[in-house]
Amino acid sequence: MPSRYSMYLLSFALLISVPALPQLLPVTLLRPPADAQITLRTPDFDWSDSPQALFYVWQLGQDTTFTVDTQSDTSDSSRLILAQPLRMGIYYWRVRAHTDSDSSLWSPAAKFTILFTAPTLLYPFQNGELTERFPAFDWSDVFSAISYQLQLAGDTSFTNLLQDESPIESAWSAGSELPLGVLYWRVRAISSVDSSPWSQVGQFEIMAPAPVLFKPVNFGIISDATPVFDWSEPLAVRSYDLEIDTVQTFITPVQHIVVDSSTFTPETALQADTYYWRVRIHSDGDTCTWSAIWRFTVLAPPQVLWLRINQGDSTTSAGIVHLNNATGNQPVYYKASEHADFANAFWLPYSEAPEFVLSPDPGSKIIYFKAKNGAGESEAVTDSILRTSTSATRSHQTALMPGDFLLQSPYPNPFNAAATISWRQAWTNIVYVQVIDVLGSIRRQWQRDGGAGYHELLWDGRDENGVLLPSGCYWIRARLSGGEEQRQKMLLLR
């Protein structure tokens, strides 16, 4: 039987051979920090690591004893993010570390408060400009809010309120006409126990709507030098500002008039020119916007100041002359003819020296010339020239030299019903005459066998099948049987 002393030694050996397990250390709460005030509904919970901990138990409650509305969860790491948002209010949270067989003490509880989120203003836009006098207001929804309060004022301190609406939903429309000018607004959310901070202050401006212009129509061309200006009446206002200028900057307007109706007729005639105009409401103390800028052109019928055939020559042997002229009031087209009634003449784009084809017979030629624009036609003016002998005219020289072959310009050119195609040849030969379109296709052709001298044929503007050809540019090609050829261009106008 062992002695008492030996039993004591055995017990002591057992004690020193089994080390005691260290106790798990409590964690330190990091986020949300103690006494934090936050607006995020799903906060991120974070705490320090505890050595040897396998997992953590997290608790959240609304009192320090964690007996009211307590939530519990576990996490394998020192972090936890809520899946469901929290309501506003005061919360307490704590964490303790765990192993399979042990746990640390609870951490000291940390308090945080979830505040109401202030609404975000959506419309009217910040610094926006409105013309509607009954605008709709809109802002973001706030979690846990059961209603909202809106304030509207003419100053940023909201001491002189124009509207103070509560309770309302997350949108509101003005029930009475708002004044013109700069206005300020703000909104806050209201719950069953509290209200959120005010939103940021929104600012917008209500401007009087711009009139809509009616006439003179935009880009119009008119001949009336005292046109009627007309526009819409967006409001029952006292008067309007009307500006008219030759440039669209309106720095120094030709006219700036205050009129008491939505129409105006100038007493002084406008000069022939291009004008810009705009209108706005003229109302004392109100902010008004200009209408769109429109433009129009006042035209007077053109005037032909003088006409000189070539350089004022008295005679010519050529079949083509130049009609040098000077005009006023912006002509757009001209017409020239050897007939006072301008028979078979067409309006052509205006030129200061257009070509004109004289009739082939020699003698005194009187040329009638006039111009037109959107306002009307000018009076016809005339000049005359003596055309020398037919042979000299058609060859552009006094004698035909052996070996010469010359295709004349068709007459008239441009033409409508028929045109004369003429040529000269110095010897007996076969001449092939063709009408070719701009695509290179032969549309009409003739074969003529003649001796030396002047020859001509009449083309009625039809193709080989007798079908009228469309308006356009065509080439006349004349070719001798020996290979020499010449071309002339002509214009067919239907």
pLDDT in tens, 395-427: 333 344 444 678 888 888 888 888 888 888 877
- Report the SS3 class of residue 58: strand
**pTM given for the model:** 0.41
- CA distances 484 to 3, 179, 429, 435, 436, Å, are 153, 87, 11, 17, 17
pLDDT on residue 235: 63
pLDDT on residue 266: 92
Specify whether the CB–CB gap between 363 and 388 falls below 8 A: no
- Report the SS3 class of residue 433: strand
pLDDT on residue 395: 35
Quote the CA–CA distance of 67 and 56 in Å, as a whole number: 20
Specify whether the CB–CB gap between 238 and 282 falls below 8 A: yes
Quote the CA–CA distance of 8 and 161 in Å, as a whole number: 92
Quote the CA–CA distance of 398 and 418 in Å, as a whole number: 29
Taking only the tens place, the pLDDT of each residue in 223-246 is 888 999 999 987 656 688 999 999
pLDDT on residue 346: 82
> Integer distance in angstroms from the first to the last C-alpha of the chain?
146
pLDDT on residue 396: 37
Give the residues of the chain that fall short of pLDDT 70.
Answer: 1-22, 235-238, 283-287, 389-404
Count of beta carbons in the 10 Å neighbourhood of residue 303? 14
Specify whether the CB–CB gap between 110 and 93 falls below 8 A: yes
Count of beta carbons in the 10 Å neighbourhood of residue 484? 13
Quote the CA–CA distance of 431 and 454 in Å, as a whole number: 12
Pairing of strands 315-316, 348-349: unpaired
Specify whether the CB–CB gap between 325 and 369 falls below 8 A: yes
Quote the CA–CA distance of 337 and 201 in Å, as a whole number: 77
What is the C-alpha R_g of the chain?
50
- CA distances 355 to 29, 310, 325, 435, 472, Å, are 100, 9, 12, 22, 18
**Can you list the positions of beta strands (E) in 329-401?**
333-337, 348-349, 355-357, 363-373, 376-377, 381-387
pLDDT on residue 236: 58
Domains for the chain: give ranges and CATH numbers.
Answer: 29-114 (2.60.40.10), 121-206 (2.60.40.10), 213-298 (2.60.40.10), 303-390 (2.60.40.10), 400-492 (2.60.40.4070)
Smallest CA-to-CA distance from 456 within 489, 416, 491, 424 is with 424
Pairing of strands 419-425, 161-168: unpaired
Quote the CA–CA distance of 301 and 304 in Å, as a whole number: 10
